[in-house]
Amino acid sequence: MDREELTEVIEKGEDSFTEFKEEKVHSDDLASEMVAFANTEGGRMLLGISDKKEIKGISKPDKEMQRVENISYNSCEPSLTVSIEKIKVNNKIILCIYIPKGPERPYRTNRGVYYIRTSSGKRQATREELLRLYQATRSIYYDELPAPATSIDELDILYFRRFFENFYQTKIEDMNTDLNKLLENMKVLTRMDEKLVFTVGGYLLFGLNPQKEFPFGKITIAKFDGNEIGEEFEKKDLEGKLEEQIDGADRVLGQYLKTKVKIKGFENELKFEIPKEVLREAIVNAVVHRDYHIPSQIRIFIFDNRLEIMSPGKLPNTVSLENIKLGVHSERNQLIVSYLAKMGYMTQIGTGIPRMIRLLKEHTGREPEFEERDQEFIVKIWRPR
């Protein structure tokens, strides 16, 4: 950064990527600023600049650089690697400290506090933001976290037994381990303060009544007359285990969407206005990729000209509205994805969206549209004219 650029930065003032600090700032304050930048999008601190944009300078720049490096290494967990640049302006030395977006997020200070950067400075990360940071680096998946108020007594043992024997082609009793340990190994249960409880994913998949702890973990289907949301509509709430919700949505959409009878040879063949494979793919994607810590259900709106499938949560990291069409995918809920793949609902290889696009183009002549709106991911499927 040269003098001109520094002058422009100072004139603009502090923002999400820039922080001013004077020379005698406390080491704990520097550590918290570094952590906040590393947990967000990275940024820079200008040492020797006051909050009022006055150029104060650093009296002993080499000693201050050493202090900054020690703080980044010893007062941030994990340690941070920062780069420091000296800039001379008006015979005063300013230190520009560059903090990259951290590859090992989330970071915390050595006092155990997690910070994130905002437009007005820094603040402590909320529990939800901390979970997102863990998820972003794949340190932990939300569906593998414990559901604290649950117990093994809420396992639908008959349903679990049927799944286990169908997929593994063996009986639970032949596994030479007790049921609790088996469920823990399969990440259906996990330990919390020495107590066995369900994981979030395990409860949604195999719990007797998943909506007891996750009332928003359901699908709501609403049928409107016309092409806009109106005051009058038919509504169905689909609850139960995730598999039951998927199958229920299949049935309800089959009732609302049109079918045609096509004569093939000596037999009649039903032809759906939207291929059932497309509907299944869209529903399964919504169930497995939604953000389960957002207190909102999956919503499917049926209009005269289209369907809208609205899933809580934006696209996961590395996935964009453009590359999703090419099969790029990122698993927000690894446990749920794994089990629904075992149940035959998906392949885990990212071919679903490209196949959905191809089938719709062949069948209706129009591709689906993908959109992010607020905290939702939306798929629009156009009905044939």
Q: How many CB atoms lie within 10 A of CB 196?
A: 16
Domains 3-130 and 219-382 share a fold: no
Q: Residue 260 has what pLDDT?
A: 65
Q: Residue 364 has what pLDDT?
A: 87
Pairwise CA distance, residues 348 & 334, whole Å: 10
Q: Residue 146 has what pLDDT?
A: 86
| Domain covering 3-130 in this structure, CATH number | 3.30.950.30
Query: Where along the chain do its domains lie?
Result: 3-130, 143-212, 219-382
Copy the structure tokens of residue 144: 């593998």
Q: Residue 263 has what pLDDT?
A: 60
Pairwise CA distance, residues 353 & 268, whole Å: 30
| CA 189 distance to own-chain centroid | 22
Cross-sheet strand order for the sheet of 43-47: 18-21, 43-47, 92-99, 83-89
Pairwise CA distance, residues 261 & 253, whole Å: 18
Q: Residue 261 has what pLDDT?
A: 58
What phi and psi, each to the nearest 5 degrees, are found at residue 182? -60, -45
Q: Residue 266 has what pLDDT?
A: 56
Whether 107 contacts 35, CB under 8 Å: yes
Pairwise CA distance, residues 118 & 112, whole Å: 20
Q: Which CATH architecture has domain 219-382?
A: 2-Layer Sandwich (3.30)
CA distances from 350 to 258, 305, 329 (A): 29, 28, 6
Residue 348 exposed, middle or buried by CB count within 10 Å (0-12, 13-18, 19+): middle
For residue 350, give the nearest of 300, 288, 293 by alpha carbon: 288
Q: Residue 132 has what pLDDT?
A: 76
Hunting for tokens 């969407």 — which residue is that? 257
How crowded is the C-beta side of 178, counted as CA atoms within 13 Å? 4
For residue 301, give the nearest of 225, 376, 374, 364 by alpha carbon: 225
Pairwise CA distance, residues 128 & 151, whole Å: 24
Q: Residue 268 has what pLDDT?
A: 61
Copy the structure tokens of residue 172: 């639970």
Pairwise CA distance, residues 190 & 202, whole Å: 9
Q: What is the CA radius of gyration of the chain?
A: 27
For residue 363, give the nearest of 271, 286, 300, 285 by alpha carbon: 271
Pairwise CA distance, residues 81 & 65, whole Å: 13
Residue segments in the chain with a per-residue pLDDT below the cut of 70: 135, 137-140, 260-270, 317, 348-350
Pairwise CA distance, residues 160 & 207, whole Å: 9
Whether 80 contacts 102, CB under 8 Å: yes
